[in-house]
């Protein structure tokens, strides 16, 4: 009986410890197949006031000729800004897992004549980026949608050049006038911990956005 009691106590302790461990899976799972709905959200002209795309691109020191991956590109809100920054000799990989959005990204690139934007249909566990080609992976408002993040971001290192970087833009975990519900947000400290555990080091933290933190990492 005493042995059974000890085993039960150990099992309970293990369950409590597991409950205390932070999850590395997505905090929300939205369907993104309704393109018209998400165009209204992501491309709302009012977004520029707080997302500050030009300021963010400048802070990340994106230069002509670079290859940049817009991971979770959505409707292509950042595409034209990134395309302008990398210039005609650079490349913007506009990556998303939703086929309808990837079709929209292609149509948008054709409409805006951004020939350096390359839409990419990714897998849920793989960004499908070319190996060793990317100077910067930009992940805006998307990190909290990724499952099994430790393995996902570790796998991203394959796509980076030797001096490549990963920039994560996420919502500050506090009440804000814009953005998702509180339980969808990820604390800055957890992102840093996950990236460090996955083989990255924090190299920069530009303070350019009012409601989001910006963390720039490089492989260790």
Which pLDDT tens digit goes with each residue over 112-168?
999 999 999 999 999 999 999 999 999 999 999 999 999 999 999 999 999 999 999
Residue 110 CB partners (closer than 8 Å, separation 6+) = none
CA–CA separation, 219 vs 202, rounded Å? Answer: 9
Q: What angle do CA 207, 211, 215 make, to 5 degrees?
A: 45
Supply the pTM of this predicted model: 0.86
CA distances from 112 to 18, 83, 199 (A): 49, 10, 37
Residue 66 CB partners (closer than 8 Å, separation 6+) = 85, 86, 90, 91, 135, 136
Q: What residue ranges do the domains of the chain occupy?
A: 2-219
Helix axes 188-197, 149-156, angle to 10 degrees: 60
Task: Please tell me the class of the 2-219 domain.
Answer: alpha beta
With a cut of 60, say whether residue 13 has pLDDT above it: no
């Amino acid at each position: 009986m005493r042995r059974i009691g000890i085993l039960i106590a150990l099992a309970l302790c293990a369950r409590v410890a597991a409950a205390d461990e932070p999850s590395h899976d997505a905090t929300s799972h939205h369907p993104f197949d309704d393109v018209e709905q998400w165009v209204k959200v992501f491309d709302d002209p009012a977004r520029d006031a707080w997302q500050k795309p030009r300021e963010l691109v400048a802070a990340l020191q994106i230069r002509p000729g670079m290859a940049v991956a817009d991971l979770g590109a959505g409707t292509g809100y950042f595409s034209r800004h990134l395309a302008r920054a990398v210039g005609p000799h650079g490349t913007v990989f506009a990556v998303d897992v939703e086929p309808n959005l990837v079709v929209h990204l292609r149509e948008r690139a054709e409409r805006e004549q951004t020939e350096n934007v390359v839409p990419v249909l990714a897998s849920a566990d793989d960004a499908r980026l070319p190996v060793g080609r990317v100077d910067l992976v930009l992940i805006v408002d998307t990190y909290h949608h990724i499952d099994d993040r430790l393995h996902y971001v570790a796998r991203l290192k394959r796509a980076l050049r030797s001096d490549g970087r990963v920039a994560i833009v996420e919502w500050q975990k506090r009440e804000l006038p814009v953005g998702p519900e509180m339980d969808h947000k990820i604390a800055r400290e957890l992102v840093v911990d996950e990236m460090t555990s996955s083989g990255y080091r924090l190299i920069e933290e530009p303070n350019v956005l009012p409601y989001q933190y910006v963390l720039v990492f490089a492989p260790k």
